[in-house]
Structure 1
Amino acid sequence: MIASDWRVRVLRSILANAGVLVGVVAFDWPAAALLVVFLIEAAVATLRGAVQGLFARRDPIETALDDRLPAASWSAKSGGVSIGPLPPIYPRNVPVVLGGLLAVVLFWPIAGLVVVATADTGLPLASLAVGIVGVLLGQLVAAVDYVRAARYTDDTVRSAMGRRYVAGVVVLALGGGIVLAEYGAVPAALLAGVVLAKSIVDLGEIGTETTTRDVWEDDDPEPPAADPVAVFAVDRRSLLVRAPGLAPLFLFVPPYLLLVFVVAVVGLLGGLWAGTAALTLAVGLVGVGRVVAVDVLRGHREYHVYPNRVVVYDRLLETPQCSVRRKTITDVHTENSLLDRVRPGSRTVVVSTVGTDHRLHALRRPAAFVDTVAPGGRADDREDARARDWYGE
């Protein structure tokens, strides 16, 4: 495996850098051309890492996430879903992947300004295209090796995204731009040295961020061998109809606030109608995003009631997510809301445990759930059992 890794690293480094080195030495590339190649490689590497990160099986050591990230609530999901012959995609990896892509979206305008500011002369398009093709081939080799060697079984989402590698390329690109802006033309020998340094970065990219933790295994409690006393499903249709209701308000919360900035620019440049259309599109995108986020988080839940505990099971991921011991439940009741008359679905069910209230939204047969799960209900049994609390909602 070590020899195979080394061959892949060498091949990838040659493909990604040989054309660039020839362009610098033989075709007298300006520094701006090198910046273009590096920035394109950083973007492609980030996209490759984002796709790889979706399949990463290991549980990340660092689990802290900014709650403002899109789909941040998915980080608590257990299990993955398979699509055709592909390995499982793990929803818990999606927030980190979206955060990485968001960083690229914010970074690229700045990078473009650096290139424009430093490109005093025209770029050698023909030879530059050859260098870019080499970069793309190098990234393709890394992607194929990721699948062929099943590296997704050993990677966490952050290691699969190759953040150190992308950061190294970006530092080289922006550092070169600053040097060029300060000192003007850069000697070809110095540019060649930069390319050789980049080759070293490439050689160390594969496997630099692996972890020594055991392969991720779902540690949530498995259901008992006996059949549950009752099963209560979520009314998925009602839940999804509710989801986009607050979409306009999300536009005023980071990172969605970036869409408001884009809408403002479109309105200033294109007028009232263009701004209105952009605002409508932004609200629609946020609404669709909310529907997808809520569907993955809650749309496929079932609550399996056993004599000593209630297990939250996800039909999409086919994995038990968590459970609560019946002995810790102090109260179960439905909650009245001013929106009950206008929103679809049933009233919210509140399950109170010691110090915590858990709200179950759009639950089918809420009255039957209350009757079954409440202390002293039909399925009540105070026998102790191993379980962990439901994650907060």
Structure 2
Amino acid sequence: MRHISCFFHRMDVNKYRRTLSVMALSNLVLLMGVFEFSWDPHLVLLFYWFEAGVAVTREAAQSLFAALPPSKEYRPTGTRAPFPLKILADVRGGFRPARWLPPVYPQNVPYTLLTLIPLVAFWPFGGLMLTGVVTPVVETFVLPVSAALGVLAILVSQLFKLVDWFQSGEYETVSATGGVSKTHLALLFILAFVAPFVVGVVEAAGVTRVELGLVLVGSKVVYDVLELRNPGFVQSAMFIDKTAGEESTVEVPDGEPVAAFHTDQRAEFTTSVFVGVLSSFLGPTLFFVLLGGLTGMLVGSNLFGTPHGPAIGVVAGAAVVVAVRVLAQLAVGWIVGGHLVYRVYPDAVVAHNTLTSEAQWSIPREDISDVTIGDGFLASRLPDWFGTVRLDRYNGESHKIAYLTDVDAVAQLLDA
């Protein structure tokens, strides 16, 4: 036992030293930028803003690999806190996006989006504020070529943290619970709206840019030391065992099914595009469409001027959000329905997802009270591509066997 304890202690010490080395290197790059490249204090703030956004994105990416299921108690409810792509929260199992990566669990995606949505809504405006595009406090400036060095240092530092997280195997013992912490949001707010004003006042008081740059770098060093001594004190996404729930089970009969029905890929793709476009303008995504249009208007007017710049920016910004929403819906359809195989056993009907290699639901055939055929709004307007079979149970629940090219064969088999 003492040898095992020494091994883990040595491993923790090595990880601490690696983290300390990367932290020191990134801060030395900032210090060199202030002295050697005469980096403006506002540029240093822009680096901090960039690093904060990259850190949130990294932790959101990590949450996709969390192996433990999130607790249902952490699901947002009500209209005040919509649960994005909540259909993925019920997908069982995971899949490997690459051979050298651990499995990604679709059930974590909605929680990851709860982390990314506040970032997407706020982070771009923070950058526009810091570069002086939308505020008179900061003079608009062009990034120097040497800024690439600062960006590279930040990306390398965050990549190191991501790789170290994978190598530690921590993803096997945590669950993903989304949401950016209030502390992290407060830091982003200070960086974008408070710090530029303070820097401007201090500069007006006669403090040199080098002195002010040293203060900013020193503040970053203090922040890094606090994070090193107290990991997660400004965690942007929670990874704690208290948020873990229980894995649901699906009973699958022994033996081979009497029949198996695969989903139609064309139908799934067409439906996903239609739903993606429609939900962009009828759901909560409308806010982001408007936000994208507003951001595009600001950028367009700055790049192309008037009178056509704002109009081009509005259309481009809104189109980008709609395209992202459609791509997200295509991914959802590909995961949820694109790989489903409906297996009919003598005593049960099982929906099996070949992507995640897990059964998604199972209904004993003796519990089926009614079998009905329907095609829905979209299917009725397509050239007989697909239909849907609805299975009603005696307990009031129902399941749909969707995107089928031969619904009559399914209905006849289940009615037999």
The interval holding the TM-score normalised by the smaller chain is 0.7 to 0.9
Structure 1: runs of 5+ lacking an equivalent = 379-393
Alpha-carbon shift at residue 106 of structure 1 (Å): 2.2
CA distance in structure 2 between the partners assigned to 1:289 and 1:59 by the alignment: 22
CA distance in structure 2 between the partners assigned to 1:258 and 1:342 by the alignment: 30
- Equivalent of 1:254, from 260, 263, 284? 284
Query: Do the aligned partners of 2:389 and 2:402 also contact (CA within 8 Å) in 1?
Result: yes
Alpha-carbon shift at residue 320 of structure 1 (Å): 1.0
**Structure 1's 134 and 260: CA in aligned 2 closer, same or farther, altered over 3 A?**
closer
Alpha-carbon shift at residue 10 of structure 1 (Å): 1.5
User: Which structure has the higher relative contact order (CA within 8 Å, separation 6+)?
Assistant: 1
Could you report, residue by residue, the CA deviation over 1:282-323 in whole angstroms, capped at 9, with x for unpaired residues?
665544443332221112112223344322210111111122
Query: Do the aligned partners of 1:172 and 1:194 also contact (CA within 8 Å) in 2?
Result: no
**Structure 1's 340 and 38: CA in aligned 2 closer, same or farther, altered over 3 A?**
closer
- Equivalent of 2:110, from 74, 89, 95? 95
Matched, 1:146 2:168: no
Query: Do the aligned partners of 1:9 and 1:206 also contact (CA within 8 Å) in 2?
Result: no
Structure-1 residue corresponding to 2:176: 157
Alpha-carbon shift at residue 274 of structure 1 (Å): 8.5
The aligned runs of 1:344-363 (5 Å cut-off) are 344-353=384-393, 354-363=395-404
Structure-1 residue corresponding to 2:63: 53
Query: Do the aligned partners of 1:12 and 1:138 also contact (CA within 8 Å) in 2?
Result: yes
Structure-2 residue corresponding to 1:388: none
CA distance in structure 2 between the partners assigned to 1:224 and 1:271 by the alignment: 61
Structure-2 residue corresponding to 1:136: 155
Query: Do the aligned partners of 1:336 and 1:347 also contact (CA within 8 Å) in 2?
Result: yes
Matched, 1:304 2:334: no
- Equivalent of 2:191, from 173, 188, 206? 173
Alpha-carbon shift at residue 41 of structure 1 (Å): 0.6
CA distance in structure 2 between the partners assigned to 1:163 and 1:273 by the alignment: 35
Question: What amino acid does structure 2 have at the position aligned with 1:151?
Answer: E
What is the number of equivalent residue pairs in this alignment? 374
**Structure 1's 133 and 294: CA in aligned 2 closer, same or farther, altered over 3 A?**
closer
Query: Do the aligned partners of 1:146 and 1:152 also contact (CA within 8 Å) in 2?
Result: yes
Question: What amino acid does structure 2 have at the position aligned with 1:71?
Answer: L
Question: What amino acid does structure 1 have at the position aligned with 2:223?
Answer: K
- Secondary structure (helix, strand or coil) at the match of 1:310 reads strand
CA distance in structure 2 between the partners assigned to 1:245 and 1:308 by the alignment: 36
The aligned runs of 1:206-225 (5 Å cut-off) are 209-212=238-241, 219-225=248-254
Alpha-carbon shift at residue 206 of structure 1 (Å): 6.2
Structure 2: runs of 5+ lacking an equivalent = 1-10, 302-306
CA distance in structure 2 between the partners assigned to 1:320 and 1:239 by the alignment: 19
CA distance in structure 1 between the partners assigned to 2:269 and 2:253 by the alignment: 31
- Equivalent of 1:292, from 320, 327, 331? 331
Structure-2 residue corresponding to 1:35: 45
TM-score (norm 2): 0.73
Alpha-carbon shift at residue 149 of structure 1 (Å): 2.1
Structure-2 residue corresponding to 1:4: 14
More moved, 105-114 vs 63-72: 63-72
Structure-2 residue corresponding to 1:369: 410
RMSD of equivalent CA atoms: 4.0
Query: Do the aligned partners of 1:39 and 1:169 also contact (CA within 8 Å) in 2?
Result: no
CA distance in structure 2 between the partners assigned to 1:214 and 1:181 by the alignment: 43
**Structure 1's 166 and 201: CA in aligned 2 closer, same or farther, altered over 3 A?**
farther
CA distance in structure 1 between the partners assigned to 2:189 and 2:182 by the alignment: 10
Alpha-carbon shift at residue 257 of structure 1 (Å): 4.3
Structure-2 residue corresponding to 1:80: 94
Could you report, residue by residue, the CA deviation over 1:169-212 in whole angstroms, capped at 9, with x for unpaired residues?
52552442353356655764753542233212441446975423
